[in-house]
């Protein structure tokens, strides 16, 4: 499977027209830096970025970021891409869009897993601070924060396409049978893979891409223990989070689910395919 086809062509000229028309005081040079599943991102000048949905399905996700990131930023000590300005449809572009800060650094996906151990403690701290009861109006996400059993049919289908199905399917059956989260729905980032963690020379510089922002089982986010780290750093991470045995087992189940998604849906993205393979290797350990 490859990256979904964009539903609208978003080039530099279009983005430039949008910025000049709606936020002329921020206009500046634009450089394309990402063209992902849901959004296109252009760097704007030295200090800003423009984030625009490339598919209709991403529009609500961007609206959630605009609504809730200013709130969540008050809970955590790590930088978040809190919107600087909000854009509206125009210049032939049909959806809302956002101008955010630009953070210098490189993603954890761009460094070897063994070199990520230094962020185990700050990432645990970020999640501990974020994982607090969410209000009734928090975004709902049918594929994050839900009981693992709700993902069973999709996961089994993905596992059938992997060369490691004989090893992974029994593990999935074991982990998805763990009792679901009994507590209140907690705020979740929702997509804690290393491509969404920005590093600089001091460590964890920012947590990016809250498109899957939702509330539910914190095990979804704790899957980062396998997505991001190797065994030694995972042990450090676990020592810093308040996760009982059942939550930790569900986190491993979420890591397996997210890992198979990355491994089977990144045919045109070698970096994320490598993340997927790393995860599947790690979940077979502990």
Nearest one of 189, 193, 268, 176 to 227, comparing CA atoms = 193
99 contacts 87 by C-beta, under 8 angstroms = yes
SS3 205: strand
> pLDDT averaged over the chain?
95
Residues 166-223 pLDDT 10s: 999 999 999 999 999 999 999 999 999 999 999 999 999 999 999 999 999 999 999 9
Question: Residue 259 and residue 262: Cα distance in Å, rounded?
Answer: 5
Residues 111-164 pLDDT 10s: 999 999 999 999 999 999 999 999 999 999 999 999 999 999 999 999 998 889
Q: Domain residue spans in the chain?
A: 12-101, 106-283
What's the CATH architecture for 106-283? Answer: Alpha-Beta Complex (3.90)
Question: Residue 80 and residue 74: Cα distance in Å, rounded?
Answer: 10
Q: Which residues contact 239 (CB under 8 A, 6 or more apart)?
A: none
What CATH code would you report for 12-101? 3.30.200.20
Question: Residue 144 and residue 215: Cα distance in Å, rounded?
Answer: 8
Q: Which residues contact 18 (CB under 8 A, 6 or more apart)?
A: 50, 52, 87, 90, 91, 93, 97
Residues 7-50 pLDDT 10s: 899 999 999 999 999 999 999 999 999 888 789 999 999 999 99
94 contacts 104 by C-beta, under 8 angstroms = no
Nearest one of 35, 69, 33 to 211, comparing CA atoms = 69
Residues 233-248 pLDDT 10s: 999 999 999 999 999 9
């Amino acid at each position: 499977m490859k990256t979904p086809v964009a539903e609208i062509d978003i080039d530099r000229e279009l983005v430039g027209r949008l910025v000049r028309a709606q936020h002329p005081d921020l206009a500046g040079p634009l450089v394309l830096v990402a063209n992902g599943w849901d959004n296109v991102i252009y760097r704007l000048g030295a200090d800003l970025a423009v984030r625009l949905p490339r598919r209709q399905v991403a529009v609500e996700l961007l609206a959630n970021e605009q609504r809730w990131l200013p709130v969540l930023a008050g809970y955590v000590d790590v930088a978040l891409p809190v919107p600087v300005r909000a854009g509206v449809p125009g210049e032939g572009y049909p959806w809302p869009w956002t101008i955010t800060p630009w953070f210098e650094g490189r993603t954890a996906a761009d460094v070897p897993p063994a070199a990520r151990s230094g962020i185990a403690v700050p990432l645990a701290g970020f999640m501990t601070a974020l994982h607090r009861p969410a209000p009734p109006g928090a975004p709902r996400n049918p594929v994050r924060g839900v009981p693992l059993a709700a993902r069973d049919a999709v996961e089994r289908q993905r596992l059938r396409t992997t060369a490691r199905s004989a090893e992974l399917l029994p593990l999935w059956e074991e982990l998805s049978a763990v009792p679901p989260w009994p507590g209140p729905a907690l705020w979740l980032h929702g997509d804690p893979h290393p491509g969404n963690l920005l590093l600089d020379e001091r460590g964890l510089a920012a947590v990016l891409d809250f498109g899957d922002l939702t509330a539910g089982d914190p095990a979804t986010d704790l899957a980062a223990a396998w997505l991001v780290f190797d065994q030694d750093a995972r042990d450090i991470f676990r020592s810093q989070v308040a996760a009982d045995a059942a939550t930790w087992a569900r986190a491993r189940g979420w890591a397996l689910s997210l890992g198979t998604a990355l491994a089977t849906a990144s045919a045109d993205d070698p970096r994320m395919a490598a993340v997927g393979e790393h995860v599947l290797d790690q979940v077979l350990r502990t």
